[in-house]
Structure 1
Amino acid sequence: MIGSRRVTGDRPPSPVGEDGLLGSVRVAVDEARTGRWEALNRLVEVLLEVDAVGDEEAAWLALALVAGRPELVVRLDEHARSALWRGEYQEPALWRVSARLSGDLPGPVATVLASMHGDGRIRERAVSTMTGRPRAEAMPFLVLRTVDWVKPVRDQARAGLAMLLADDPAVHLPAVVPVVLRLEARLRAGFAVAQVRAAVFAATEQVWRGLLDSGGRRQRRFVFDIVLAQGGLRLSDLVAIAESDPDVRVRARAAEAACREAVWTRRLDALKRLARSARAEVRVVALTGLVRAGQDAEVAAYLDDDAPLVRAVARDAARRLGTDAREHYRSAVGTGEPASGAIAGLAEIGSVADAPLLQRLLGHGQARLRAQAVRGLRLLDAVGVGEVAALLRDPSPAVVREVTAALRPVAGALPPALAWELLRDGRVELRRAGYRLLRGRGVGVELRAALILAVDADPRLAERGTADATRVTRDAARTAGHRAPQPPLRVTGTEHAELVTLAARAAAALGAETSQRLTGWLTSSRPGG
């Protein structure tokens, strides 16, 4: 097992292995990532226990568990600086760290923890030890000292960081970049950021590709921007990144660079390939490139695209070709199976006169076309309350969402009981629709609907209802607190009794304070009281 010694004879097994102290370190690290100062103290104690065993490689393994989580490294340093291992751990931890560092060969854990010590002289000795015996596991802690508030400590750490990044970037860059990005906004972080940027700029392709393939979104963006600026990516690389990268910003920047190069070099094949991308932000850049290359006919073929920006670029190209985009959309929507992009396009540039074309699609067999037709009628300001309201119980949640959005401005024209019936329906999307249709109907209606929703079986709806009921109640209490009369609830006796019942049922969800305020408000607002 990693970190354990071979058992011979009656010698007991090592306490450092995965089932021993290293296992304890893993648990302590997980707890310290989100825990309070007690959890950080516990992590320090467990690390010191590993150090006390005297197994250097096991100590480095333990530190690697901490170093692999840059947010924890920063938290640990901030904790040490604000209240160094406070409580019952303070005296023993401080004594052990400083005492071990003064020895001939301090352990890795003692050295790293000493680099966060409150005494600048101890931090300086720790930095000297870390740079003299460099390990990737210690690099995140060394980076912290490059922003130290004591100049000698800071200067020594910066010199060590620059030297180590220049000597072996393949080993040290992966350990340094995540922490440097965490410190990027700090006052003295400019040196470390500049050193890392220079190291990435000078790194081999194998090194920077490794950084691109590992780390989080922020690291990928940082490294990609540097590599892109130095021209380290070929057109084929840029096309591949634009098509497959999980981050929208990286995809967009790669697409821009790829299309720019393709236009300069007349690589129309690359532009056409990117124009077929599943990502709208990539397609629109590629089509813009095709426009610059004089390929208006190629671009105009995207009039029915699902993305609004793509349709806009295509319409501009169609205009230059003399094509009437509105007539194109009218013809396309008039077919039996129109593209959803054609319906959206007609809504964007059509008029109320085009409403019959969309109304015909309200009964279409495909839910996405019914939803797009409702959306189009809303954009054309041509919503017929009766025909659209008939789709409120459509089997498709997407259609229900569009119908609700279309009916909200004209909710007053709906049957009074309809929204309340929806609010108590068995389908989640119908309850959400009923709640949205009841918004803006007055304080009494909003409070009643929120109290009903606060005990909903769906957690998200219940959270929304609880938040709104709390807001309405606190607004009323705040008015009373400013010596203005508390707003009365303009409700009938029956409605008031229902509010009292609903408030009692939702008391647990609202919490004691809000429930007490609401009860007081309802009592003072009793009709005829």
Structure 2
Amino acid sequence: MRVAVDDVAGAGRWEALDHLVEVLLEVDAASDEVVARSALTLVAGVAGLVAWLDGHARQAPWYGPDREPASRRVGARFSVATSGPVAVALASMHRDGRIRERAVAAMVARPCPEVMPFLVLRAGDWVRPVRDRARAGLALLLADDPGRYLPAVLPMALRLDARRRGGFAVTQIRAALMSAPAQVWCGLLGSGGHRQRRFVFDTVVAQGWLRLADYVTCAETDLDVGIRVRAAEAACREAVWTRRPGVLRRLARSVRAEVRVVALTGLVRVGQDGDVAAYLDDDAPLVRAVARDAARRVGIDAREHYRTTVCVGEPALGAIVGLAETGSAADTPLLRPLLSHPQAKVRAQAVRGLRLLDAVVAQEVLPLLRDPSPAVVREVTTALRPLTGALPPGLPWELLADGRVELRRAGYRLLRGRGVDVELRAALMLTLDPNPRLAERGKADVSRLARDGARTTWRRTPPPELSVTAAQHAELAALAARAAAALGEDTSRMLTTWLAHSRPDA
């Protein structure tokens, strides 16, 4: 069962959906209630799979190994009184509205959390009798036992909210949350996906059920950035209204930049500009911007502060970039000595600062292109991309063949924008890279180039011109042949056609 679900989740092909239906029918034939519920839990656990099955049931026939339509077997096997949860779930997606209506009646008569996503689907059914019965049953179940059914209903309802007739379930969920005990929504806040938790959090905040301490805890510890920001805003808003600068200072020490920004804005609102100005060297750009605005009001020259700070033995990283944000080309002599700093983070920020000041000299940063730190290599590559004309011609190709992943990535980036022939050659080489992510990047770029190069009747712009010599064309053809297996049949065919049309003697 898990293999069939994984196949659909990975590919989503009609054949995989057909196979999943066959496996579900086999599970139903076993008449094991525990196994049946586990199977439905697996199906509901994959985002969108229930909706895919529902669409598949209407748009394509279900065929089993014996070529008998599976939908016919589902309808024949389904019984309102005796069918198990798998048969009921499959029957709820049947093309015949009368069978769907009977399946909804069975779900409501013998409810269990595992079939709730299928009931939510039918609450938006296009046939009114099916829809009305599903909605009435869903409303009653959520009102009677929200703790049991809300976790099963919520993910599917949020997924279908944008559909026509899909908002009813969300409205019922919101009503059930408002009347549910505190332990119910507390449990939903601590589990489920980001969208589900954000929905519950927003509902709870709108009702005013959380205290200031709860907001502070969420802002400091929650894993979802959306909830952290909402919690920080609520906490800081209440702290400003009630004049509690201690709460604002606590949140301003958060490790999360988005929380620090909100807290510092709150400190500005209560007149604590001196406290805010202490964050001039923060790592986050928006935090530094808020701090510089506060520093101006208390008479601190942010530029002079940065000039002084970058000259110490171990300058703050935020001060280096801060100088680039507020300084000018006259400040580059303060940054250039940092290119040889023993700390890799300082070297990387120095390169970034010179780039922001538009003061990069290729020969100065070129030795850092093979720096032991990947972060430094990444910053140097970004700084050198506008200056590729000043680099040795063969350097990017040497990097592309290097043993270090970050150097191969740097070489590929430095070859971008040098012409279609160079980009195609580099992308074909990268397609064969041992690193999966680099190989995927090369494959995507080859696919794009091959698609653009293919001659089509609907094209409004001319295809890219591949101007190569006979030797270069032969090299590209050899690389394309080596990469054919990795590129796939369609891309390889388009590439071969493009190369054939671009042969120099053609």
Contact 2:17 2:53 in 1 (8 A): yes
Task: Tell whether 2:223 aligns with 1:246.
Answer: yes
Residue 467 of structure 2 corresponds to 489
Q: Which of these residues, 128, 137, 142, is aligned with residue 160 of structure 1?
A: 137
Residue 210 of structure 1 corresponds to 187
Task: Quote the offset at 1:476 in angstroms.
Answer: 4.4
Task: Quote the offset at 1:117 in angstroms.
Answer: 2.5
Residue 445 of structure 1 corresponds to 422
Which deviates more from structure 2 when the two are superposed, residues 168-177 or residues 36-45? 36-45
Residue 269 of structure 2 corresponds to 292
SS in 1 for 2:189: helix
Structure 2 Cα separation of the partners of residues 330 and 514 of structure 1: 56
Residue 307 of structure 2 corresponds to 330
Residue 110 of structure 1 corresponds to 87
Gaps of 5+ in 2: none
Structure 1 Cα separation of the partners of residues 122 and 354 of structure 2: 61
Percent of residue pairs identical: 67
1:36-435 → structure 2 map (5 Å cutoff) = 36-52=13-29, 54=31, 56=33, 59-69=36-46, 71-83=48-60, 85-86=62-63, 88=66, 90-91=68-69, 94-95=72-73, 97-98=75-76, 100-101=78-79, 104-435=81-412
Structure 2 Cα separation of the partners of residues 495 and 91 of structure 1: 55
Amino acid corresponding to residue 431 of structure 1 in structure 2 = R
Q: Deviations over 1:335-381 (max 9, x none)?
A: 11100000010000100000000001010000110010011001101
Structure 1 Cα separation of the partners of residues 94 and 301 of structure 2: 73
Structure 1 Cα separation of the partners of residues 21 and 445 of structure 2: 44
Which deviates more from structure 2 when the two are superposed, residues 69-78 or residues 390-399? 69-78
Amino acid corresponding to residue 396 of structure 1 in structure 2 = S
Structure 2 Cα separation of the partners of residues 311 and 188 of structure 1: 47
Which deviates more from structure 2 when the two are superposed, residues 452-461 or residues 35-44? 35-44
SS in 2 for 1:392: helix
Contact 1:98 1:114 in 2 (8 A): no
SS in 1 for 2:368: coil
Task: Tell whether 2:476 aligns with 1:516.
Answer: no
Task: Quote the offset at 1:197 in angstroms.
Answer: 1.1
Q: Using a 3 Å threshold, how does the CA distance of structure 1 residues 134 and 289 change in structure 2: closer, same or farther?
A: same
How many positions carry a matched residue from both structures? 500
Amino acid corresponding to residue 415 of structure 2 in structure 1 = L
Structure 2 Cα separation of the partners of residues 84 and 494 of structure 1: 53
Residue 20 of structure 1 corresponds to none
What's the TM-score once normalised by structure 2's chain length? 0.89
Contact 1:84 1:90 in 2 (8 A): no
What's the TM-score once normalised by structure 1's chain length? 0.86
Task: Quote the offset at 1:455 in angstroms.
Answer: 2.9
Amino acid corresponding to residue 133 of structure 1 in structure 2 = R
Task: Quote the offset at 1:424 in angstroms.
Answer: 2.5
Q: Deviations over 1:373-432 (max 9, x none)?
A: 011001101112211112111111111111111111121122223333323222222222
Which deviates more from structure 2 when the two are superposed, residues 172-181 or residues 73-82? 73-82
Task: Quote the offset at 1:100 in angstroms.
Answer: 4.2
Contact 2:78 2:91 in 1 (8 A): no
Q: Using a 3 Å threshold, how does the CA distance of structure 1 residues 90 and 227 change in structure 2: closer, same or farther?
A: farther
Contact 1:101 1:114 in 2 (8 A): no
Q: Using a 3 Å threshold, how does the CA distance of structure 1 residues 352 and 52 change in structure 2: closer, same or farther?
A: closer
SS in 2 for 1:246: coil
Structure 2 Cα separation of the partners of residues 275 and 26 of structure 1: 46
Structure 2 Cα separation of the partners of residues 486 and 193 of structure 1: 49
Task: Quote the offset at 1:203 in angstroms.
Answer: 1.7
Task: Quote the offset at 1:64 in angstroms.
Answer: 4.1
Q: Using a 3 Å threshold, how does the CA distance of structure 1 residues 130 and 467 change in structure 2: closer, same or farther?
A: closer
Q: Deviations over 1:465-521 (max 9, x none)?
A: 344345445544539998979846255x76566556545554554554145235425
Contact 2:344 2:373 in 1 (8 A): yes
